């Protein structure tokens, strides 16, 4: 969804021709959308970020959940802990039919979900010669993949109120293709700390250094030094650990900080750009839209619109 007033309102309108609907109850699609037999796409926005929620995936559906912002939670599937702690933006969780989920959140969250009929997934797997993945134990679980993240953002950007009913399904085919590719190799980038190529304590030092220098230029050499590794060694291990290049990881951290400033302060967009290490407002706007699907002004207006609607305020007063 493009993050402006028009598309935000359309997402709330279940009769609109829109590809993504707002999900008000975790893992429960909107009532009218639930009657549709095909692929459903929803967006879940948790502004409070606390509490425990449970859900049972329908036995005839898979659910692909893409985290659009960083958060912290304990997520369990069928009583087994999937992740307990920080979840980076761009992480992906695939729920299998019939799974019982429990989510204990410890921070605000924003995610896009695809509800995929089991027959749709199996047909796609058959077309891609990947049926064996569905019958084995390698499909499902947690991934971190920038390609799927970009597909989610592209669907949101395309969701301007004039999408055809099959738009979400077209994107879902591309997502499944990527998931099958990840599940069929030995390089699945799960969130299990044991599998990280960089120990957690080194990653904590990296995150601390980046967090302290978000308004400054950050070089690969400086981040590698914070981790106690050579730049070459660090770059190779970092991508194995996170699924991202260091430069992309730093940009994401800058954008997450920018979102916090836009949401909680009255600073102008040009001031936020400087606070987050961008030399020009134009560059900041370009990168911000790449990560969020919206310009900083549109993102701030959408955020304000959501806050105002909860208290019945006049949205005409919203500015950038």
pLDDT in tens, 50-83: 788 899 998 999 999 999 988 888 899 998 888 8
Average pLDDT over residues 166-177: 90
Q: How far apart (Å, rounded) are the C-alpha atoms in residues 248 and 240?
A: 14
Helix (H) or strand (E) holding 112: strand 109-117
CATH of domain 194-309: 1.10.10.60
Name 51's bridge partners.
Answer: 105
Query: For 248-300, how does the pLDDT look when each residue is reduced to its tens digit (9 = 90+)?
Result: 999 999 999 999 999 988 899 999 999 999 999 999 999 999 888 889 999 99
Q: How far apart (Å, rounded) are the C-alpha atoms in residues 54 and 27?
A: 9
Is 178's pLDDT higher than 70? yes
pTM higher than 0.85: no
Query: For 99-136, how does the pLDDT look when each residue is reduced to its tens digit (9 = 90+)?
Result: 999 999 887 889 999 999 999 999 998 888 888 888 76
Token duo for residue 250: 């730093």
Is 169's pLDDT higher than 70? yes
Token duo for residue 218: 């950050």
Q: Is 10 helix (H, G, I), strand (E, B) or coil?
A: helix
CATH of domain 5-183: 2.60.120.280
Domain boundaries, the chain: 5-183, 194-309
Instruction: Grade residue 194 by pLDDT with cuts at 50, 70 and 90.
Output: very low
Q: How far apart (Å, rounded) are the C-alpha atoms in residues 292 and 39?
A: 23
Cβ atoms of residues 38 and 165 within 8 Å: yes
């Amino acid at each position: 969804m493009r993050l402006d007033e028009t598309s935000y309102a359309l997402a709330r309108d279940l009769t609109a021709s829109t590809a993504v609907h707002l999900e008000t109850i975790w893992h429960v699609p909107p009532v009218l959308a639930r009657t549709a037999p095909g692929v459903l796409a929803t967006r879940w926005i948790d502004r409070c970020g606390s509490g425990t929620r449970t859900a049972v995936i329908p036995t005839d559906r898979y659910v692909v959940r893409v985290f659009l912002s960083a958060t912290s939670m304990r997520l369990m599937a069928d009583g087994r802990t999937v992740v307990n702690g920080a979840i980076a933006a761009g992480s992906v969780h695939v729920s299998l039919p019939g799974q019982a989920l429990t989510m204990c959140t410890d921070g605000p969250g924003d995610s896009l979900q695809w509800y995929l009929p089991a027959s749709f997934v199996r047909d796609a797997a058959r077309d891609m010669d990947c049926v064996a993945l569905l019958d084995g134990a390698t499909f499902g679980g947690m991934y971190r993949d920038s390609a799927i993240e970009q597909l989610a953002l592209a669907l949101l950007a395309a969701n301007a109120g004039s999408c055809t009913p099959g738009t979400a399904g077209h994107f879902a085919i591309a997502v499944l293709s990527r998931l099958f590719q990840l599940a069929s190799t030995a390089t699945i980038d799960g969130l299990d700390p044991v599998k990280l190529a960089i120990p957690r304590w080194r990653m904590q030092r990296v995150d601390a250094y980046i967090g302290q220098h978000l308004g400054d230029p950050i070089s690969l050499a400086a981040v590698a030094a914070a981790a106690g590794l050579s730049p070459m060694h660090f770059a190779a291990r970092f991508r194995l650990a996170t699924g991202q290049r260091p430069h992309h990881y730093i940009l994401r951290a800058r954008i997450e900080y920018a979102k916090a400033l836009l949401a909680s302060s009255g600073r102008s967009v040009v001031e936020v750009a400087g606070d987050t290490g961008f030399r020009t407002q134009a560059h900041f706007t370009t990168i911000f839209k790449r990560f969020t699907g919206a310009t900083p002004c549109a993102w701030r207006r959408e955020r304000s619109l959501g806050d105002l609607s909860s208290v019945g305020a006049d949205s005409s007063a919203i500015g950038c």
